């Protein structure tokens, strides 16, 4: 634990003691950082991935499932009930994209894959797990969207469209669940230093036979770290955010002023 973390009371706390959390896509990058933050705050955590290629954060339970499918979502929900006995915190984090030169180059199957991964996976898991939250009269859902949504950047038009749908849905779901004491918010990361993000940038550069993307640092002078996003998620799922719902929190170092 760093001195900054100690002074901020970020890790090693018990503010989430007794809480049961599910984080999708939690074995690397932003997802793994979220899992570690929730564990450090005292929560019991179950995470998912399509395969166990990457190490599971120590202390977390794991279920292998593809949340892009209805069967995968059902398997995750069943594991959450079996392993955790229910879910108090749901972080729909699984997502990703590959670039295409332009919109008309994106095939139908890629559009469908992006909608399933970046939007419908959250819809399905929410529909399976929020009924338990409603019955208990409490719970928190966080959707991981993207700060790039307002830009609709052509190489990732399918991705930003899916994430825009997720953000819109997040707002609507928050209104539906608020009377039951369940909060729903979105977190939208900017450019963050993760293995997946780096692979995507390299793929885009290869398509363009050069840098392709603006590599200028955000106004705060650096790319984001996975922990930057995880801190925002930890705040939103904690009681410190008990009067916040239906909101989108952009965490991007000022990269997208309208994000």
Q: 259: how many CB neighbours lie within 10 A of its CB?
A: 20
Tell me if 254 sits within 8 A of 191, measured CB to CB: no
User: What pLDDT score was predicted for residue 214?
Assistant: 59
Fold of 15-249: Rossmann fold (3.40.50)
* 71, two tokens: 């069967």
For the chain, 259 residues long, give each residue's pLDDT as a single digit of tens.
443 444 344 556 899 999 999 999 999 999 999 999 999 999 999 999 999 899 999 999 999 999 999 999 999 999 999 999 999 999 999 999 888 878 899 999 999 999 999 999 999 999 999 999 999 999 999 999 999 999 877 788 999 999 999 999 999 999 999 999 999 999 999 988 876 666 666 655 666 654 445 567 888 999 899 999 999 999 999 999 999 999 999 999 998 877 6
For 17-30, give one letter per residue: b (16+ CB within 10 A) or e. eebbbbbbbbbbbb
pLDDT score, position 6 = 40
Sequence length of the chain is 259
Catalytically active residues are: 159
Q: Please indicate, yes or no, whether the overall pTM of this predicted structure exceeds 0.85.
A: yes
| CA 48/CA 56 separation, integer angstroms | 9
Domain-by-domain residue ranges, the chain? 15-249
Beta pairing partners, 199:
none
Judging by beta carbons within 10 Å of its beta carbon (0-12, 13-18, 19+), is residue 15 exposed, middle or buried? middle
Q: Which two tokens stand for residue 12?
A: 């090693």
């Amino acid at each position: 634990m760093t001195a900054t973390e100690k002074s901020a009371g970020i890790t090693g706390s018990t503010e989430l003691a007794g809480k049961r959390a599910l984080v999708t896509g939690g074995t690397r990058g932003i997802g793994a950082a979220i899992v570690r933050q929730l564990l450090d705050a005292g929560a019991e955590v179950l995470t998912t991935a399509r395969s166990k290629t990457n190490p599971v954060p120590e202390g977390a339970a794991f279920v292998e499932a593809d949340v892009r499918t209805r069967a995968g979502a059902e398997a995750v929900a069943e594991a959450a009930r079996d392993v955790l006995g229910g879910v108090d915190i749901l972080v729909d984090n699984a997502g990703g994209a590959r670039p295409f030169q332009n919109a008309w180059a994106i095939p139908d199957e890629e559009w469908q894959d992006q909608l399933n991964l970046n939007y419908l996976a959250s819809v399905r898991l929410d529909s399976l797990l929020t009924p338990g939250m409603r019955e208990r009269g409490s719970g928190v859902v966080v959707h991981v969207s993207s700060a790039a949504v307002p830009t609709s950047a052509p190489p990732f038009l399918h991705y930003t469209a899916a994430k825009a749908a997720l953000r819109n849905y997040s707002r609507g779901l928050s209104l539906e669940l608020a009377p039951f004491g369940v909060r729903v918010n979105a977190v939208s990361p900017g450019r963050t230093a993760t293995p997946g993000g780096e692979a995507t940038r390299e793929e885009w550069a290869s398509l363009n036979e050069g840098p392709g993307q603006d590599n200028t640092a955000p106004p705060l002078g650096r790319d984001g770290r996975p922990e930057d996003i995880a801190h925002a998620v930890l705040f939103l799922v904690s009681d410190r955010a008990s009067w916040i719902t239906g909101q989108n929190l952009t965490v991007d170092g000022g990269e997208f002023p309208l994000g």
